[in-house]
Amino acid sequence: AQRVTQPEKLLSVFKGAPVELKCNYSYSGSPELFWYVQYSRQRLQLLLRHISRESIKGFTADLNKGETSFHLKKPFAQEEDSAMYYCALINTNAGKSTFGDGTTLTVKP
Amino acid sequence: DAGVTQSPTHLIKTRGQQVTLRCSPKSGHDTVSWYQQALGQGPQFIFQYYEEEERQRGNFPDRFSGHQFPNYSSELNVNALLLGDSALYLCASSSPVTYGYTFGSGTRLTVV
Protein backbone atom coordinates (compact mmCIF):
# COMPACT_ATOMS: atom_id res chain seq x y z
CA ALA A 1 0.00 0.00 0.00
CA GLN A 2 1.20 3.49 -0.70
CA ARG A 3 0.86 6.25 1.88
CA VAL A 4 1.88 9.91 2.13
CA THR A 5 2.17 11.72 5.44
CA GLN A 6 2.50 15.45 5.93
CA PRO A 7 2.98 15.80 9.69
CA GLU A 8 2.30 19.54 9.90
CA LYS A 9 -1.21 20.83 9.25
CA LEU A 10 -0.11 24.43 9.76
CA LEU A 11 3.26 26.12 9.36
CA SER A 12 3.93 29.79 9.97
CA VAL A 13 7.18 31.63 9.24
CA PHE A 14 8.28 35.23 8.85
CA LYS A 15 9.18 36.70 5.47
CA GLY A 16 12.80 36.02 4.65
CA ALA A 17 13.05 33.00 6.95
CA PRO A 18 13.81 29.50 5.65
CA VAL A 19 10.89 27.13 5.30
CA GLU A 20 10.69 23.35 5.14
CA LEU A 21 7.46 21.44 4.55
CA LYS A 22 7.80 17.81 5.49
CA CYS A 23 6.60 14.84 3.49
CA ASN A 24 7.14 11.18 4.29
CA TYR A 25 5.99 8.32 2.14
CA SER A 26 5.50 4.58 2.22
CA TYR A 27 5.84 2.73 -1.05
CA SER A 28 7.36 -0.60 -2.06
CA GLY A 29 8.58 0.34 -5.53
CA SER A 30 10.36 3.34 -7.01
CA PRO A 31 8.28 6.35 -6.04
CA GLU A 32 7.28 9.20 -8.30
CA LEU A 33 6.82 12.14 -5.98
CA PHE A 34 5.34 15.55 -6.57
CA TRP A 35 4.51 18.74 -4.72
CA TYR A 36 1.28 20.52 -5.58
CA VAL A 37 0.30 23.98 -4.42
CA GLN A 38 -3.09 25.64 -4.06
CA TYR A 39 -3.15 29.41 -3.70
CA SER A 40 -6.23 31.12 -2.33
CA ARG A 41 -9.21 30.73 -4.68
CA GLN A 42 -7.15 28.89 -7.28
CA ARG A 43 -7.02 25.29 -8.40
CA LEU A 44 -4.37 22.76 -7.48
CA GLN A 45 -1.27 23.19 -9.60
CA LEU A 46 1.94 21.27 -9.97
CA LEU A 47 4.89 22.87 -8.22
CA LEU A 48 7.67 20.30 -8.38
CA ARG A 49 8.34 16.76 -9.51
CA HIS A 50 11.24 14.81 -8.10
CA ILE A 51 12.28 13.38 -11.44
CA SER A 52 13.09 16.84 -12.78
CA ARG A 53 15.28 17.92 -9.86
CA GLU A 54 14.25 21.47 -10.64
CA SER A 55 13.81 24.64 -8.65
CA ILE A 56 10.48 26.39 -9.04
CA LYS A 57 9.78 29.77 -7.39
CA GLY A 58 12.85 29.16 -5.26
CA PHE A 59 11.53 25.85 -3.92
CA THR A 60 13.49 22.61 -4.11
CA ALA A 61 12.74 19.08 -2.93
CA ASP A 62 15.12 16.16 -2.62
CA LEU A 63 14.02 12.57 -2.60
CA ASN A 64 15.66 10.71 0.29
CA LYS A 65 14.94 7.03 -0.23
CA GLY A 66 16.71 6.05 2.98
CA GLU A 67 14.45 8.23 5.09
CA THR A 68 11.51 7.85 2.68
CA SER A 69 11.10 11.61 2.61
CA PHE A 70 10.53 14.32 0.04
CA HIS A 71 10.67 17.55 2.00
CA LEU A 72 10.02 20.89 0.27
CA LYS A 73 12.44 23.69 1.07
CA LYS A 74 12.95 27.36 0.35
CA PRO A 75 15.78 29.40 1.84
CA PHE A 76 13.91 32.73 2.00
CA ALA A 77 10.12 32.62 2.25
CA GLN A 78 8.02 35.32 0.59
CA GLU A 79 4.50 36.44 1.49
CA GLU A 80 3.23 35.17 -1.87
CA ASP A 81 4.30 31.66 -0.86
CA SER A 82 1.35 31.53 1.54
CA ALA A 83 -0.77 28.64 0.29
CA MET A 84 -1.79 25.03 0.86
CA TYR A 85 0.90 22.54 -0.15
CA TYR A 86 0.22 18.88 -0.95
CA CYS A 87 2.76 16.12 -1.35
CA ALA A 88 1.68 13.37 -3.77
CA LEU A 89 2.92 9.93 -4.74
CA ILE A 90 1.80 9.04 -8.26
CA ASN A 91 2.33 5.61 -9.77
CA THR A 92 2.22 6.66 -13.40
CA ASN A 93 2.39 3.12 -14.79
CA ALA A 94 -0.37 1.74 -12.59
CA GLY A 95 -2.48 4.88 -12.60
CA LYS A 96 -2.86 5.19 -8.84
CA SER A 97 -2.08 8.28 -6.81
CA THR A 98 -1.98 9.17 -3.13
CA PHE A 99 -2.00 12.67 -1.70
CA GLY A 100 -1.10 13.85 1.78
CA ASP A 101 -3.57 15.91 3.78
CA GLY A 102 -1.67 19.11 3.06
CA THR A 103 0.21 21.79 4.98
CA THR A 104 -1.06 25.35 5.15
CA LEU A 105 1.91 27.69 4.94
CA THR A 106 1.51 31.24 6.19
CA VAL A 107 4.34 33.70 5.60
CA LYS A 108 4.01 36.70 7.89
CA PRO A 109 5.39 40.14 6.95
CA ASP B 1 -6.45 26.25 -23.81
CA ALA B 2 -9.11 26.16 -21.11
CA GLY B 3 -7.28 23.46 -19.20
CA VAL B 4 -9.41 20.97 -17.33
CA THR B 5 -13.06 21.98 -17.09
CA GLN B 6 -15.58 20.50 -14.69
CA SER B 7 -19.33 20.90 -14.49
CA PRO B 8 -21.37 21.78 -12.64
CA THR B 9 -19.52 24.01 -10.19
CA HIS B 10 -21.91 23.36 -7.33
CA LEU B 11 -24.64 20.80 -6.78
CA ILE B 12 -27.11 20.04 -4.02
CA LYS B 13 -28.69 16.60 -3.90
CA THR B 14 -30.93 14.71 -1.51
CA ARG B 15 -29.80 11.56 0.25
CA GLY B 16 -30.56 8.50 -1.87
CA GLN B 17 -30.43 10.35 -5.17
CA GLN B 18 -27.96 9.83 -7.98
CA VAL B 19 -25.54 12.40 -9.39
CA THR B 20 -23.38 12.75 -12.50
CA LEU B 21 -20.34 14.99 -12.63
CA ARG B 22 -18.52 15.87 -15.84
CA CYS B 23 -14.93 16.56 -16.79
CA SER B 24 -13.23 17.68 -19.99
CA PRO B 25 -9.48 17.07 -19.97
CA LYS B 26 -6.81 19.50 -21.05
CA SER B 27 -6.12 19.48 -24.79
CA GLY B 28 -3.65 16.71 -25.62
CA HIS B 29 -4.41 14.70 -22.48
CA ASP B 30 -6.06 11.28 -22.75
CA THR B 31 -6.16 10.11 -19.12
CA VAL B 32 -8.61 11.28 -16.49
CA SER B 33 -8.42 10.72 -12.74
CA TRP B 34 -11.14 11.51 -10.22
CA TYR B 35 -10.68 12.50 -6.60
CA GLN B 36 -12.86 13.18 -3.59
CA GLN B 37 -11.66 15.90 -1.24
CA ALA B 38 -13.38 16.25 2.10
CA LEU B 39 -12.89 19.35 4.21
CA GLY B 40 -9.45 19.45 5.78
CA GLN B 41 -8.17 16.44 3.86
CA GLY B 42 -6.14 15.87 0.77
CA PRO B 43 -7.62 14.54 -2.46
CA GLN B 44 -8.57 10.87 -2.17
CA PHE B 45 -8.13 8.85 -5.36
CA ILE B 46 -11.38 7.37 -6.71
CA PHE B 47 -10.36 5.95 -10.08
CA GLN B 48 -8.54 6.62 -13.32
CA TYR B 49 -9.75 6.21 -16.88
CA TYR B 50 -7.57 5.58 -19.91
CA GLU B 51 -8.66 4.39 -23.35
CA GLU B 52 -12.27 4.34 -22.11
CA GLU B 53 -11.45 1.74 -19.47
CA GLU B 54 -11.18 2.01 -15.69
CA ARG B 55 -7.49 1.50 -15.22
CA GLN B 56 -7.12 1.71 -11.46
CA ARG B 57 -9.45 2.19 -8.53
CA GLY B 58 -9.07 3.50 -5.01
CA ASN B 59 -10.97 2.38 -1.91
CA PHE B 60 -14.41 3.54 -2.93
CA PRO B 61 -17.59 1.45 -3.06
CA ASP B 62 -19.32 0.37 -6.25
CA ARG B 63 -21.77 3.24 -5.83
CA PHE B 64 -19.02 5.27 -7.46
CA SER B 65 -18.72 4.54 -11.16
CA GLY B 66 -17.39 6.32 -14.16
CA HIS B 67 -17.13 6.49 -17.87
CA GLN B 68 -14.74 7.87 -20.43
CA PHE B 69 -15.86 8.88 -23.89
CA PRO B 70 -13.94 8.66 -27.20
CA ASN B 71 -13.12 12.37 -26.95
CA TYR B 72 -11.44 11.60 -23.56
CA SER B 73 -14.01 13.48 -21.51
CA SER B 74 -15.28 11.65 -18.46
CA GLU B 75 -18.19 11.32 -16.08
CA LEU B 76 -18.32 10.36 -12.44
CA ASN B 77 -21.58 8.82 -11.26
CA VAL B 78 -22.53 8.32 -7.64
CA ASN B 79 -25.63 6.30 -6.76
CA ALA B 80 -27.61 6.16 -3.52
CA LEU B 81 -26.01 9.32 -2.18
CA LEU B 82 -25.07 9.46 1.48
CA LEU B 83 -24.51 12.53 3.61
CA GLY B 84 -20.86 11.51 3.79
CA ASP B 85 -20.52 11.90 0.03
CA SER B 86 -20.62 15.67 0.49
CA ALA B 87 -17.22 16.87 -0.72
CA LEU B 88 -15.31 18.60 -3.46
CA TYR B 89 -14.85 16.29 -6.44
CA LEU B 90 -11.76 16.95 -8.47
CA CYS B 91 -10.87 15.81 -11.94
CA ALA B 92 -7.29 15.71 -13.19
CA SER B 93 -5.98 14.93 -16.65
CA SER B 94 -2.63 13.69 -17.91
CA SER B 95 -1.00 11.91 -20.80
CA PRO B 96 1.67 9.20 -21.02
CA VAL B 97 4.27 11.83 -21.90
CA THR B 98 3.54 14.21 -19.05
CA TYR B 99 4.60 13.85 -15.47
CA GLY B 100 2.07 15.10 -13.01
CA TYR B 101 -1.58 15.95 -13.41
CA THR B 102 -3.51 19.07 -14.40
CA PHE B 103 -6.47 19.68 -12.12
CA GLY B 104 -9.87 21.21 -12.66
CA SER B 105 -11.52 23.58 -10.21
CA GLY B 106 -13.80 20.87 -8.90
CA THR B 107 -17.50 20.29 -8.30
CA ARG B 108 -18.79 21.00 -4.80
CA LEU B 109 -21.41 18.36 -3.98
CA THR B 110 -23.65 18.83 -0.98
CA VAL B 111 -25.93 15.97 0.07
CA VAL B 112 -28.81 16.96 2.34
At residue B14, the pLDDT reads 97
Integer CA distances (angstroms), B38 to A83, B42, B66, B107, in order = 18, 7, 19, 12
* Cα–Cα distance measured from residue B17 to residue A57, given in angstroms and rounded to the nearest whole number: 45
At residue B99, the pLDDT reads 73
* Cα–Cα distance measured from residue B78 to residue B18, given in angstroms and rounded to the nearest whole number: 6
Residues B84, B101, B27, B55: is their CA dihedral positive or negative?
negative
pLDDT tens string A51-63: 777 778 999 998 8
Chain B residues with CB-CB distance to A under 8 A? 31, 33, 35, 40-45, 48, 50, 55-56, 58, 90, 92, 99-106
Domain spans of chain B, in order of start: 5-111
Q: Which residues of chain A neighbour B101 with C-beta distances below 8 Å?
A: 46, 90, 97
pLDDT tens string A10-49: 999 999 999 999 999 998 878 789 999 999 999 999 999 8
At residue B59, the pLDDT reads 93
Q: Report the amino acid identity of residue A20.
A: E
At residue B97, the pLDDT reads 78
- For range B77-104, the mean pLDDT: 92
Q: Report the amino acid identity of residue A52.
A: S
CATH number of B5-111: 2.60.40.10
- For range A94-101, the mean pLDDT: 90
Q: Which residues of chain B neighbour A43 with C-beta distances below 8 Å?
A: 103-106
Contact A86, A9 (CB under 8 A): no
Mean pLDDT score across all residues of chain A: 92
pLDDT at A3 over 90: yes
Please report which confidence band the pLDDT of residue B1 belongs to, taking 50, 70 and 90 as the band edges: low
* Cα–Cα distance measured from residue B52 to residue A65, given in angstroms and rounded to the nearest whole number: 35
pLDDT tens string B19-66: 999 999 999 999 999 999 999 899 999 999 999 999 999 999 999 999
Rg (CA), chain A: 13
pLDDT at A68 over 70: yes
Q: Which residues of chain A neighbour B100 with C-beta distances below 8 Å?
A: 34, 46, 49, 90
- For range B14-21, the mean pLDDT: 98
Pick the CATH number of A3-108 from 2.60.40.10, 2.30.130.10, 3.30.1490.20, 2.60.120.1440: 2.60.40.10
Contact B22, B6 (CB under 8 A): yes
pLDDT tens string B68-89: 999 999 999 999 999 999 999 9
The set of residues, in sequence order, having a beta carbon less than 8 Å from that of A102 and lying 6+ positions away, is A6, A9, A38, A84, A85, A86, B41, B42
Contact A92, A3 (CB under 8 A): no
* Cα–Cα distance measured from residue B106 to residue B79, given in angstroms and rounded to the nearest whole number: 19
